[in-house]
């Protein structure tokens, strides 16, 4: 990555986050605010840039959350980035990350002995985005239903990204979403992915396939 700072923008959760990383993955600034993305996104980004002593035309790349999460927050972030890369094409490098992968990598960082777990977030009524941890590594994200969720017998974690209409899964432990943890995991080979344009995660019917706890095992 470039020695110039990188701007991190995340509107996937119940808060709006913006931060500036230096070339050594250290935070020059990070700002997280409660509130609606429509009103708070741009003031949050402006505060982070001011605290870091930089400007959009000095940013080397954007790190953005693809989701899953708040549709409004994710789309507002996407529109902002698409505007800025047209205004400042020299800073048009883009890297996306997944909110569930961020939580999984942070969880594994804190619990290195964890070998198997399921991390879920709400998609829609009766359906969940689910990331499986196997052999101490995050595996692909699937969409599962309530029956499949109840069948899981291992450690279960729930990421509440928005005001949900579903109850906390039985036996689930709530996990906090913290974009500040990006500095700890951004060099992990599974975390960041370069993109040519802003690409948002989509939970769609094509991914809603029968899931079993053993699907990814040899």
Whole-number pLDDT of residue 212: 45
- The model carries a pTM of 0.88
CB-CB contact of 181 with 142 (8 Å): no
Class of domain 100-176: alpha beta
Q: At what angle do helices 71-87 and 37-52 cross, to 10 degrees?
A: 50
Q: Which two tokens stand for residue 184?
A: 């700890």
Intrachain domains 6-98+180-195 and 100-176 with the same fold: yes
Question: pLDDT-based confidence at 164, cuts 50/70/90?
Answer: low
pLDDT in tens, 4-53: 899 999 999 989 999 999 999 999 999 999 888 889 999 999 999 999 99
Domain ranges of the chain: 6-98+180-195, 100-176
Q: Does domain 6-98+180-195 have CATH number 3.30.70.1250?
A: no
Mean pLDDT of the chain: 89
Question: pLDDT-based confidence at 142, cuts 50/70/90?
Answer: very high
């Amino acid at each position: 990555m470039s020695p110039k700072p990188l701007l991190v923008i995340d509107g996937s959760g119940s808060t709006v986050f913006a931060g500036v990383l230096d070339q050594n993955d250290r935070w020059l600034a990070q700002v997280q605010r409660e509130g609606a993305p429509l009103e708070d996104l741009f003031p949050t980004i402006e505060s982070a840039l001011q605290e870091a002593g930089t400007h959009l035309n000095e940013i080397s790349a954007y790190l953005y959350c693809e989701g899953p999460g708040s549709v409004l927050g994710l789309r507002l972030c996407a529109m902002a980035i698409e505007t800025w890369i047209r205004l400042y094409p020299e800073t048009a490098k883009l890297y996306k990350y997944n909110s569930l992968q961020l939580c999984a990598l942070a969880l594994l960082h804190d619990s290195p002995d964890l070998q198997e777990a399921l991390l879920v977030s709400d998609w829609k009524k009766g359906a969940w985005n689910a990331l499986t941890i196997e052999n101490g590594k995050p595996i692909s994200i699937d969409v599962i239903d309530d029956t499949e969720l109840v069948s899981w017998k291992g450690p279960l974690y729930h990421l509440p990204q928005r005001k949900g209409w579903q109850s906390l899964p039985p036996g689930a432990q709530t996990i906090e979403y913290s974009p500040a943890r990006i500095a700890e995991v951004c060099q992990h080979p599974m975390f960041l992915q370069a993109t040519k344009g802003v690409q948002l995660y989509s939970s769609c019917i094509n991914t809603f396939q029968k899931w079993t706890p053993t699907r990814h095992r040899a």
